[in-house]
Amino acid sequence: MPELPEVETVRRGLAGLIIDKKIRSVTNDWVKSFPNAKNDVDAFLIGAKITGVRRRAKVLLIDLDSEYTLVIHLKMTGQLVFRSNNDGERFGAGHPSDSLVGRLPDKSTRVTIDLGDSKLFFNDQRKFGWMRLVTSIEVPNIDFMKKLGPEPLSDDFTSQMFAERLKRRPNAVVKAALLDQTVIAGVGNIYADESLFAAKIHPSTRVRDLSDKKLIVLFNELKKILLLSIEKGGSTDKNYVDAEGKRGSYLTFAQVFRKNGQPCPRCGTIIEKSKVAGRGTHVCPVCQKPVKGLQ
DNA sequence: CACTTGACCTGTCCGC
DNA sequence: TGCGGACAGGTCAAGT
């Protein structure tokens, strides 16, 4: 679920809530969600102070003064929600507020981090997400981190560089290349569909059939969309919430994602849903003409 | 090697 | 109302 804008929204929220707090205790209700050995957790997590919250691709990094870092991937349904003990009183069970925060922990809570005056809940319905405690210096050397492509929003990453990287996968369909985290980091299904629509490119076009000019348009649209989504607090379809349990509003601005059966905002043609690169894919069949010879 | 498919999980929705 | 199957925003391993 959470893609770059959602993880960035969580990061910003957490940074304002948990920095300088000290970790008092941790409970882990699903081993795979946080598989570190208890010894290491006791030695390097319990008692450590949080010094910073960073993001790389779709990964959150919570730095500790023990020289360790909590590396967290929310995958499809992960949530990282903060609740101060006072909020718990205000929104306790049975309170008319429908706030997620008020109902935590719940049956999807996998890990609870006690921060003394507050708690951080790692909720994850489908259990695909994970967190790991790693020495801070090793973080860039984790296999997953090492292979990641550049951040699309970093200042020194240009549209030419983007085109060049995509073209390393000439035979891939362009949507698969966009979703490939080693080509470019942080793009998932929502922003792949939205940026391809904005650039008027059919998702199953082979990269080799796209001109540099087209690829540059795609990159510029992608950046605009990612920035807009961050401004709107990300996309909430079902599960995603920010650090305070609030939903994101980007999907009200989405042009095609989950809009199948509705008219294209550009030309009025009904938007279709199909499968491309193994993922549900939303397309305006008129604005995004399939390249001849491809299905 | 490059690319595609299935597995990891739970919950929800849709058709019979 | 109940039940089976398809599907869901991500990534890795295994298959072609």
Q: What is the pLDDT of residues A214-223, one digit of tens each?
A: 999 999 999 9
Residues 6+ apart with CB under 8 A from A98: none
What SS3 state is found at A279?
strand
Taking CA atoms, A62 is separated from A26, A50, A80, in Å, by 15, 7, 12
Residues 6+ apart with CB under 8 A from A203: A173, A174, A175, A192, A193, A196, A276, A277, A281, A283, A288
**Mean pLDDT on A130-145:** 94
Percent of chain A beyond pLDDT 70? 95
**Mean pLDDT on A41-48:** 98
**pLDDT tens digit sequence for A260-293:** 999 999 999 999 999 999 999 999 999 998 876 4
* Active centre residues of A (catalytic): 2-3, 58, 279
Q: Is A41's pLDDT higher than 80?
A: yes
A123 CB and strand B closer than 7 A: no
Q: Stated in angstroms, how far is A278 CA from C6 C1'?
A: 14
Nucleotides of C under 7 A from a protein CB: 7-12
Return the DSSP state at A288.
S
A236 CB and strand C closer than 7 A: yes
Residues 6+ apart with CB under 8 A from A163: A212, A215, A216, A219
**pLDDT tens digit sequence for A103-128:** 899 999 999 999 999 999 999 999 99
Nearest nucleotide, CA A177 to C1'? B3
Nucleotides of B under 7 A from a protein CB: 2-6, 8-11
pLDDT value for A90 = 56
Percent of chain A beyond pLDDT 90? 89
**Mean pLDDT on A26-44:** 96
